[in-house]
Homo-oligomer: A and B are copies of this chain.
């Protein structure tokens, strides 16, 4: 028993009125229609399981009630969280969501199919690199869009989390456990979340009176983290606590420590960043700064919806602060650590 094709006309015929009346009633415009009629219309619509046809509605109203999101890499847990938040909020606001993965490969075709054919009312751009072809593509579109978790210079339309505070949190956590010789495995300067995390960490170390942290800049990859940590382990004095500022980097760093035979947190403490729900699954379970990615997803669709409704684009930092989730990689520094000077 399917509602295969229930149209306004069908309801109108059934009720014995005009389709425009049905449209008015169902559309919710609480306008000039006799309660009795309205009542019948609602009944019939309900019984027939009426659903407005999206194509017809879009064609007529120039609104699709559909949002698009394009991402560089579905496989990255950060994006899962962002999407999840976005999906929730989208549903709440009455949108559905079109998704596209736009890696380095020139899948411009996918882009155009999503953006160029009037399928969506607005676009969320979660592309990794600021310089990707997406900028070029976006430039020749009039569709409302906003960046998420990335802040391309001067575009003034992005939603990010408080990465500064995330870095600060890590520094405070390390300091409060007694660490004086700390280090940071940072990401490349081309990634703006990386520079903000670094900035927050370094500033807080300074404010707290810690020794200026050693910083290793690496790619945000497992092997980047591995190499960065290896270098740190060979430096003197060896840091007693390290902030590994990205999930993959944290994984690589842990592997490096395991390989070298050191014990966590007995010999060295780690504070990471949880880009998803993976930190709890690592060994030892990673003490990490949890960024409000889900909220970021929600906020970005709120923003986009605002812009679609005529609002001005703006930069927003999601209000939910990062929070430190204590698991098992943060402890006091070893006793034989170089004493305070």
Contacts and interface: CB of A to CB of B under 8 A. Distances in A.
B59 A56 contact: yes
A74 B66 contact: no
A273 to B, nearest CB: 15
A282 B84 CA distance: 25
A113 interface: yes
A276 interface: yes
Chain A facing B: main interface SS: mixed
A251 B98 contact: no
Contacts of A281: 222, 248, 251, 278, 282
A91 B74 contact: no
Q: Within the oligomer, what is the number of copies of this chain?
A: 2
Contact of A75 (B66, B84, B112, B119): B84
Interface residues of A, number: 61
A47 interface: no
Interface stretch (A1-9, A128-136, A331-339): A1-9
Interface string A51-92: 111111011000011100000001101001101100110010
Nearest to A142: B2
A226 B248 CA distance: 24
Interface stretch (A12-20, A99-107, A144-152): A99-107
A94 B117 CA distance: 13
Interface in A278-309: 278, 280-285
Nearest to A248: B281
A110 interface: yes
Contacts of A222: 280-281
